């Protein structure tokens, strides 16, 4: 039976190369930069890299890195669409205070020239891009910047109900009121797009207060997941990328990784301002606008399965360069972190818990997972790192990334093979040379693994020893086939060599545990 119509098509917002918004300098609304803000025993950076017991807990000093926090103050405008659809100012010169976290090589000579820019998630201040990419970034000598770009309506509603806030700007005040008293974000979150452009422009300027002054920034890549992926889509589609220009006319941002966000999901497009209603999924404004830098969209099976509409096609054009990657058998960000540590082990959650924040009783971006079965360990993080490397090569050297097929459909569901694994999408070794099947739990005895509300949970169900023996003969034969598949993925640029080595080691451990012992 045919599935939903998903052939990639160009949306009505397509523009020609010569029709880009005229190059003008980005807004210059940042009036004051304070920092680096001192760190003491009583005044800590919220969501710092090193929190003992956290997963991951990143030892920046051991890697030759430093962490600095800066407070930014300025004014920005919020925008709306007038009745004719034209972008117009809703409110002008709204004052704000926010922060950025900078993680950079201590020795400036070791800086690669590449900056990774991540908007901080409005729910409890998470930074999934850093959590998944930190090792990759530091191995390359890159700089990472996390930027506070406000809150959102759901986090504000939850914060108002108490007993503690979830909106990230309010969480800062709760966590360390003396340190973060200067962080005053307005109720109008629509200023986030101008603030994003302003921060990017600041980091590439010769202003004396630029935290990166003296460091030659060659490329700045934006990366974000879920809400912070959707922020990028709105930033692009509403013309903010086109307007955010350096004095030489070049773009402030050189590439975008839009993670686990689809235009066909309700949350895949962030409203232009706090008064605007959520746009319909079929609204033409959601169609990805072609711009003069590359964009990679990276979706999990969850975004694809809950939003089966036509996607923007792959393109190598100078204006509209684009790839779409769909990864089966993972749900949103549940499998992004290597080893699938509990979400409550993330650095910011441990910091909050240490001060009495009731994690289990406050709904954040995701509810805490209470399913006792092993959740899908399809290597989401490894594949995402390869996508970032492909974006880097595309933006920096013009090397186009590989193409991947979309996930296949059977009627209104993602097609699965005889083992129970998804068909199509990224070419994952775990599907082609399987030790397990990945997908929703099929039983009814574990309600925590089959939630009635919210996102589903995909679990790993190991193949039994008899099935493995019939399929491969021996653990050694499985390992040879798995290694061959992983080596092909490295050659085709779906995996980085360091991640391939880690996956091979894990496959050996799994095979040793699962194959029959004679």
The answer to whether the CB of 340 falls within 8 A of the CB of 375 is yes
Q: Are 245 and 372 members of one domain?
A: yes
Q: Are 447 and 384 members of one domain?
A: no
Q: Are 392 and 439 members of one domain?
A: no
Residue 7 lies in a domain: no
Domain end marker among 397, 425, 457:
397
**Domain containing residue 355:** 17-397
Residue 408 lies in a domain: no
Strand, coil or helix: what is 309? coil
Beta-strand pair 30-34/458-462: unpaired
Residue with tokens 């993602």: 414
Residue 289 lies in a domain: yes
Residue 48 lies in a domain: yes
Residue 132 lies in a domain: yes
Residue 131 lies in a domain: yes
Q: Are 488 and 393 members of one domain?
A: no
Closest listed residue to residue 120, CA positions, set 64, 195, 30, 40: 195
Domain end marker among 376, 397, 418:
397
The answer to whether the CB of 364 falls within 8 A of the CB of 357 is no
Give CB contacts under 8 A, 24+ apart, made by 160-166. Answer: 163/358, 163/361, 163/362, 164/357, 164/358, 164/362, 166/123, 166/124, 166/362, 166/363, 166/364
Q: Report the chain's C-alpha Rg in angstroms.
A: 23
Domain with residue 214: its CATH number is: 3.40.50
Q: Are 126 and 271 members of one domain?
A: yes
The 8-class DSSP code of residue 452 comes to: S
Residue 410 lies in a domain: no
pLDDT score of 12 = 38
Number of domains in the chain: 2
Total length of the chain:
518
**Phi-psi bin for 216: left (phi > 0), alpha (psi -120 to 50), beta?**
beta
Q: Are 323 and 440 members of one domain?
A: no
Residue 226 lies in a domain: yes
Q: Are 135 and 282 members of one domain?
A: yes
Helix (H) or strand (E) holding 80: strand 65-81
Closest listed residue to residue 357, CA positions, set 140, 120, 171, 180: 171
- Encode the chain (518 residues) as per-residue pLDDT tens digits: 344 444 444 443 333 333 334 444 445 599 999 999 999 999 999 999 999 999 999 999 999 999 999 999 999 999 999 988 889 999 999 999 999 999 999 999 999 999 999 999 999 999 999 999 999 999 999 999 999 999 999 999 999 998 999 999 999 999 999 999 999 999 999 999 999 999 999 999 999 999 999 999 999 999 999 999 999 999 999 999 999 999 999 999 999 999 999 999 999 999 999 999 999 999 999 999 999 999 999 999 999 999 989 999 999 999 999 999 999 999 999 899 998 888 889 999 999 999 999 988 776 655 557 888 999 999 999 999 999 999 999 999 999 999 999 999 999 999 999 999 999 999 999 999 999 999 999 888 999 899 888 889 999 999 999 999 999 999 999 999 999 999 999 999 999 999 999 999 999 999 999 998 76
Domain end marker among 397, 421, 456:
397
Global pTM reads: 0.94
Q: Are 389 and 442 members of one domain?
A: no
Q: Are 177 and 43 members of one domain?
A: yes
Q: Are 213 and 161 members of one domain?
A: yes
And the tokens for 360? 């289990």
Q: Are 43 and 185 members of one domain?
A: yes
Closest listed residue to residue 152, CA positions, set 211, 238, 227, 72: 227
Q: Are 340 and 442 members of one domain?
A: no
pLDDT score of 13 = 38
């Amino acid at each position: 039976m045919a599935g939903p119509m998903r052939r990639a098509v160009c949306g009505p917002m397509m523009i020609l190369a010569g029709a880009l918004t005229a190059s003008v300098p980005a807004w210059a609304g940042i009036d004051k930069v304070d920092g680096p803000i001192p760190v003491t025993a009583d005044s800590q950076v919220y969501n710092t890299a090193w929190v003992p017991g956290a997963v991951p807990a990143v030892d920046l000093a051991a890697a030759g890195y430093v962490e600095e926090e800066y407070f930014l103050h300025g004014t920005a405008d919020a925008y709306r669409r007038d009745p004719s659809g034209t972008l117009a100012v809703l409110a002008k010169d709204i004052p704000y205070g926010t922060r950025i976290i900078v993680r950079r090589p201590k020795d400036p000579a070791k800086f690669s020239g590449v900056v990774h820019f991540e908007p901080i998630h409005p729910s409890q201040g998470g930074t999934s891009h850093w959590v998944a990419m930190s090792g990759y970034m530091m191995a390359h000598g890159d700089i990472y910047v996390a930027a506070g770009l406000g809150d959102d309506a759901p986090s504000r509603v939850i914060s108002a109900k108490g007993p503690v806030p979830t909106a990230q700007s309010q969480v800062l005040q709760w966590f360390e009121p003396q340190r973060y008293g200067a962080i005053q974000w307005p109720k109008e979150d629509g200023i986030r797009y101008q603030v994003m452009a302003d921060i990017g422009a600041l980091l590439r300027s010769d202003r004396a207060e630029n935290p990166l002054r003296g460091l030659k920034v060659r490329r700045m890549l934006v990366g974000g997941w879920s809400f912070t992926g959707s922020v990028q889509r709105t930033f692009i589609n509403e013309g903010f990328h086109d307007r955010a220009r350096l004095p030489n006319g070049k773009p402030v941002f050189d590439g975008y990784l839009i993670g686990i966000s689809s235009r066909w999901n309700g949350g895949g497009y962030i409203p232009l301002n706090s008064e605007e209603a959520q746009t319909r999924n079929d609204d033409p404004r959601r169609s990805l606008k072609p711009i003069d830098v590359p964009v990679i969209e990276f979706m999990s099976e969850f975004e694809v399965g809950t939003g089966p509409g036509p996607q923007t096609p792959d393109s190598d054009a100078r204006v509209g360069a684009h790839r779409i990657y769909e990864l089966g058998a993972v749900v949103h960000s549940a499998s992004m972190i290597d080893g699938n540590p509990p979400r409550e082990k993330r650095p910011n959650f441990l910091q909050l818990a240490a001060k009495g924040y009731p994690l289990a009783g406050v709904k954040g971006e995701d509810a805490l997972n209470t399913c006792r079965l092993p959740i899908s360990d399809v290597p989401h993080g490894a594949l995402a790192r390869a996508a970032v490397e492909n974006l880097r090569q595309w933006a920096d050297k013009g090397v186009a990334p590989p193409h991947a097929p979309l996930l296949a459909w059977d009627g209104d569901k993602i097609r699965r093979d005889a083992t129970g694994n998804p068909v199509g999408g990224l070419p994952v070794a775990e599907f082609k040379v399987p030790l397990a099947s990945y997908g929703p739990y099929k039983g009814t005895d574990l309600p925590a693994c089959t939630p009635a509300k919210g996102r589903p949970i995909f679990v790993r169900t190991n193949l039994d020893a008899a099935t493995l023996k019939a399929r491969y003969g021996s653990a050694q034969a499985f390992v040879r086939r798995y290694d061959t598949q992983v080596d092909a993925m490295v050659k085709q640029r779906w995996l980085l060599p360091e991640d391939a080595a880690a996956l091979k080691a894990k496959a050996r451990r799994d095979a040793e545990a699962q194959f029959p012992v004679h």
